[in-house]
Structure 1
């Protein structure tokens, strides 16, 4: 996404855009760029960090992520109802029934005692099917008077409840649950629920929970009890029955199995959605024993913690209570104990990191109380256990990568670096840019990224990664891309968002003067995102199907794309059409690209804008349309062979990083000598020769002139097409030469590292 630094107020909109946009996958997946200042120390916000799109293919993970369990303090409007959780097949044992199944499942014509008898006589599967009603049948079945009748029947029958479903108590509770669910889903069809039903449902639940057998720790009672606990939330009576929930949390032990376990597990819904109701918060404020019961449930049952368990969920709900000022005094010490009681990684990581999130985000400024001010510092060695240097300009911090994966990533980015320079023909970094190195942070999976990166780097994590460019003119600035492996593509190893982001790093360093805000002073998005997409796809030699499909539509003129900004364009225009525009210009108008980049590198944004809108203007629109039509059929053309820029040193024998010398020549039996100074840490040096006449052989030597009698490597093909790749060459001066087996002229020599 955009490689900028924006006000926090705009971040939510970008997150929404990120969710809407899905890009093609790949080891170096073509995603987006973001930028930020270097993350601040613990306790200090890291501003201007921009998310990149999240893949729609990230597998769902049952474990909670920080912030996902956040609660909303606003109650629903009066009279509104919320759905019960989606109904599941029931395991309650039904009373024997001789009623025809089809007739038993149509309750729309029964009222009063006839309705009660029909519900009690029906099978539980029949009653469960009522969650699917709609329209007129839903209105007749679940009108308020119908639910009042059934709720009163629950009240009247509760006194005889014997802890089993012999009297069909389960059917009555399930019918009420279905009614609330359907009324929430189709309020216009069913009609409103008002005080008569509230009084009736309270009477029914009061009577049920008061009966002694409602506390039986048995499978039979658990089957009805579990539904009754869920009904608390369906009826929005969370506050009234907070004591029931507290009792279940306090009484739970290993004997609560099967349906009794379900009854306790259903308290999670009552707590989570109860926090939307002011009355529930008031009830918790009046009874500090409730939050204590939540904490106690976690500590007594820590053996069940595996990351996606009930103890973790209840603990996280406790952290969510920090949202409410009236509860903070009682909740703070409980959260403090839990966040420091269990390890930050492993099975307890989801619990501790969620609690830390609530402590930091919902009780801001009190990190010292919780003992988490140094949390980022503590997490780095625990989570990012791998610290690998590819070269002086590239380092990888990873949670888990093999030696082979590290080597492959380093090599691919190094080769992409050379590819980029050949493509844009730069002469080195823009003036004042000191972003000499990039740190790539790779979490093992999206879940690990979301669990830990928010704390370590002080960023939002509901996205596909973040690029933090910082200020490229500030000494000591660390550009950083925070990524994760594409775990959904395993066993293939792929890093999500990598190559597009690396292109943004290179583009910012070698093509765009100053920071990102300077570059956005005029519309440059077509180039910024288009070149990142183009390099990612062309370097990896991957067909960009989405862009080709857009080309066939011919939606935009080239002159329109010159005006693209992050505010006036959607993801398709920014990425797909940015790619198409840049590809067209690179292939058919490279001279204009050279001129444009000359202005960008000088920071002459106004001149660049004039070039696009006036000098070029609409001149290429018709040709662009013709090119799009061909590209839409898959015939997008190709670039001529890429060349490195010419070396600039006065001594024609001297080479610099990633440059070429043309017109090398020597008579038969003689040499064309060259030399190159290498910094420490170079992993790969590649020397190539091509073109011209005659037959030149290539020789390389590490510390002295290269000759046929003194060399470390050679390439002696027929003609002038020679290549040498030297792994881990020594720092300092190295030497290579072309020996004329047959006199040669007009040969191009290129050195890249």
Structure 2
């Protein structure tokens, strides 16, 4: 995703965001002035204006919870069963071939019950996938009521294991609720008859003495019966069962007994959306304290994605409900002050903090959390590195080499940018003399902390905060995360794109972000960031070239792009194409446009684009797109790597060059460089100068015309070698004088 410049001035408050959250032991002890009950809402800094952009489709889903993640919760019954397979989810359709569906759809009454009880658990589990007439035949209300009544009868003598097939009856009912939820138009409605039957069944099962056995055999059926509570939407009726499991749990409960307790999270989480559950909690405040006790008794086992964390997070929903808030406040206050902000307890306390801030807003003094944002920064961002007077990196976890490489990338991009836009210095009244780059370890940690530390939206790939550049002391900041899915390769997601926004805002755009949005400028803002990022890094923009072949937009249409009327493809791929075309084909118009942007003449810039240029370039743009689709988009601006710094003039490093390389006819200029483990691609290029030099590469010894693994031997000095997955350690290359050569520039890059 490509977040962009956002201003804190004239900002609107953010909607609820998905994030997870933390605290340090004793860190948030109530302040001396904090009252025992919440005071009047206190003013908090307004959240910055932000426009959401998609994050990378490759961003992995983390198993640890995020409180308001839109995809983390659904009202639908849980699919699939775990009976007979402790701690693992069964594949729903794997057993279908060995399971005769007609034996369920073609039987009713006692014959249906007998079929369910005699079937294997794998067979019953495969019924979650039924659709159409099979779904109706197996799971219409009459069939479900029959099986529910059979579960009621079988539960009276439940032996604490599956020898009487109680597990099959429970799993069949779960499958029925799941299929009916997803295919109610086919299965038909469920009404009073089934509700009466399922209550009788669950009442009987949970009353059976052996349903309380702490054994693996009982746990297998118990775990499914707990989930069935939510499937049947009887959450409020069985809060006592949930309390009993939470109170009884200890670390001695393993396997399916632990799964049974973990499954109470579904009953609790979904229950908060149901009036009967909320009413039950209103009538029984001990439910809230039971959840709290469950967390504190078992906190030693917290690792971030465990049942204690997940169930503990549900406590936050107490403060989200007007009728339960009084119960939840002291518990949430205790827990967010009890456990660390960083470490294994983070997803618990930070999620609870999210509920306190977002659902009980204005009461940070009561919770003792008003200073959390400031305290989080040094706790989370343990790396503080200064590149130069204008560039600082605050990171969660970066090595010295990664810091050095990042600084080099940004410093060199700065020079590349100025050469491209030909500015004469910062625009008037711009005090953003420095940039702070914040780098979280991955997207999860970005989501976990950045919402609170910087009051931003986090459902994106990073955010650039320009602030008010006219304000003295204003701090521009790019908040980012590592692209963890690319490891072992190190990459800060959107680094060069976002740095372009900083440079563009300082040297091309007068005023703050909001001022620059008074007329449609998105084609330039995002298009330039893409153009610089891809050109500077020398990366082929596959997506944009593919879009060029579609010819979707006229250039005059792209001048009208806004964040509101354009999707990400138009904003980024087509913005890049428009900016690249204008730089290559009409550089004087670009100069004229920037002259207006730099003084804040937004209307004048708009007149230039829509009236002076108008549709005059549309036909030529369309012709250029066809050439570009054939990968003939024209020349990109040259990006010269910095000079190598090793004292030995034969030694090269990552992304550096040596000028003036020379050798006489028949002789060599020998070179080498050291590659760390995990390099995916090494590129060696040569050019310039006089004569004719050929390029040779060898992995582990000096490269010669008689000993090499790859070569490039064109006429002249323009040679390129790209080595995929080269070995780590010292590698060697050389220029051979096919004809005496001099003044050649040699550049090495790798990733």
Q: CA deviation at 1:467?
A: 1.0
The answer to whether the aligner puts 1:356 opposite 2:353 as a matched pair is yes
| Number of residue pairs matched by the alignment | 614
Which entry has the higher C-alpha Rg, 1 or 2? 1
| Partner residue of 2:239 out of 242, 267, 272 | 242
Runs (5+) with no aligned partner, structure 2:
19-41, 87-96, 641-656, 661-688, 692-751
CA distance in 2 between counterparts of 1:543 and 1:147 reads 58
**Alignment of structure 1 residues 454-469 onto 2, 5 Å:** 454-469=451-466
Query: Structure 1 pair 641/357, CA: closer, same or farther in 2 (3 Å)?
Result: closer
The answer to whether the aligner puts 1:130 opposite 2:127 as a matched pair is yes
Q: CA deviation at 1:82?
A: 3.0
Q: Which moved more, 1:60-69 or 1:149-158?
A: 60-69
CA distance in 2 between counterparts of 1:101 and 1:377 reads 60
Q: Which residue of 1 aligns with 2:446?
A: 449
| Partner residue of 1:86 out of 62, 80, 83 | 80
Q: Which residue of 1 aligns with 2:5?
A: 3
CA distance in 2 between counterparts of 1:303 and 1:2 reads 41
CA distance in 1 between counterparts of 2:402 and 2:72 reads 40
Q: Which residue of 2 aligns with 1:745?
A: none
Q: CA deviation at 1:378?
A: 1.6
Q: CA deviation at 1:386?
A: 1.5
Q: CA deviation at 1:84?
A: 2.3
Q: For 1:626-658, what per-residue CA distance to the aligned partner results, in whole angstroms no more than 9, with x for missing partners?
A: 111111100011157699xxxxxxxxxxxxxxx
Q: For 1:378-426, what per-residue CA distance to the aligned partner results, in whole angstroms no more than 9, with x for missing partners?
A: 2111111111111121111111111111111111111101110000100
CA distance in 1 between counterparts of 2:398 and 2:85 reads 46
Asked if 2 retains the 8 angstrom alpha-carbon contact of 1:50 and 1:468, the reply is no
Q: For 1:673-695, what per-residue CA distance to the aligned partner results, in whole angstroms no more than 9, with x for missing partners?
A: xxxxxxxxxxxxx9999xxxxxx
CA distance in 1 between counterparts of 2:565 and 2:13 reads 14
Give the 3-state SS of the residue equivalent to 2:544 in structure 1: helix
Asked if 1 retains the 8 angstrom alpha-carbon contact of 2:141 and 2:194, the reply is yes
Asked if 2 retains the 8 angstrom alpha-carbon contact of 1:63 and 1:307, the reply is yes
Q: CA deviation at 1:52?
A: 4.6
The answer to whether the aligner puts 1:495 opposite 2:492 as a matched pair is yes
Query: Structure 1 pair 688/600, CA: closer, same or farther in 2 (3 Å)?
Result: farther
Q: Which residue of 2 aligns with 1:374?
A: 371
The answer to whether the aligner puts 1:57 opposite 2:58 as a matched pair is yes
Asked if 2 retains the 8 angstrom alpha-carbon contact of 1:148 and 1:197, the reply is yes
Q: For 1:581-614, what per-residue CA distance to the aligned partner results, in whole angstroms no more than 9, with x for missing partners?
A: 1111111111111111111112222221222122
CA distance in 2 between counterparts of 1:583 and 1:498 reads 20
CA distance in 2 between counterparts of 1:462 and 1:508 reads 23
Q: For 1:82-111, what per-residue CA distance to the aligned partner results, in whole angstroms no more than 9, with x for missing partners?
A: 32233346349xxxxxxx965576211111
The answer to whether the aligner puts 1:165 opposite 2:162 as a matched pair is yes
Q: For 1:102-157, what per-residue CA distance to the aligned partner results, in whole angstroms no more than 9, with x for missing partners?
A: 55762111111111112112211111111111111111111101111111111122
CA distance in 2 between counterparts of 1:442 and 1:119 reads 55
Asked if 2 retains the 8 angstrom alpha-carbon contact of 1:387 and 1:398, the reply is yes
Query: Structure 1 pair 551/347, CA: closer, same or farther in 2 (3 Å)?
Result: same
Asked if 2 retains the 8 angstrom alpha-carbon contact of 1:52 and 1:466, the reply is no
Q: For 1:672-724, what per-residue CA distance to the aligned partner results, in whole angstroms no more than 9, with x for missing partners?
A: xxxxxxxxxxxxxx9999xxxxxxxxxxxxxxxxxxxxxxxxxxx999xxxxx
Query: Structure 1 pair 354/70, CA: closer, same or farther in 2 (3 Å)?
Result: farther
Q: What TM-score, normalized to structure 1? A: 0.77
Asked if 2 retains the 8 angstrom alpha-carbon contact of 1:104 and 1:118, the reply is no
Q: CA deviation at 1:254?
A: 3.0
CA distance in 2 between counterparts of 1:585 and 1:270 reads 58
CA distance in 1 between counterparts of 2:217 and 2:82 reads 17
CA distance in 2 between counterparts of 1:91 and 1:534 reads 53
The answer to whether the aligner puts 1:267 opposite 2:264 as a matched pair is yes
Q: For 1:490-544, what per-residue CA distance to the aligned partner results, in whole angstroms no more than 9, with x for missing partners?
A: 1111001111111111111111111122222222111111111110010111111
CA distance in 1 between counterparts of 2:198 and 2:611 reads 73
Asked if 1 retains the 8 angstrom alpha-carbon contact of 2:12 and 2:46, the reply is no
Q: CA deviation at 1:339?
A: 1.1
Give the 3-state SS of the residue equivalent to 1:82 in structure 2: coil
Give the 3-state SS of the residue equivalent to 2:314 in structure 1: helix
The answer to whether the aligner puts 1:440 opposite 2:451 as a matched pair is no
Q: Which residue of 2 aligns with 1:206?
A: 203
Asked if 1 retains the 8 angstrom alpha-carbon contact of 2:481 and 2:493, the reply is yes
Query: Structure 1 pair 102/622, CA: closer, same or farther in 2 (3 Å)?
Result: closer
Q: Which residue of 1 aligns with 2:404?
A: 407
Give the 3-state SS of the residue equivalent to 1:439 in structure 2: strand
Q: CA deviation at 1:11?
A: 6.3
> What root-mean-square deviation, in Å, do the aligned CA atoms of Structure 1 and Structure 2 show?
2.8
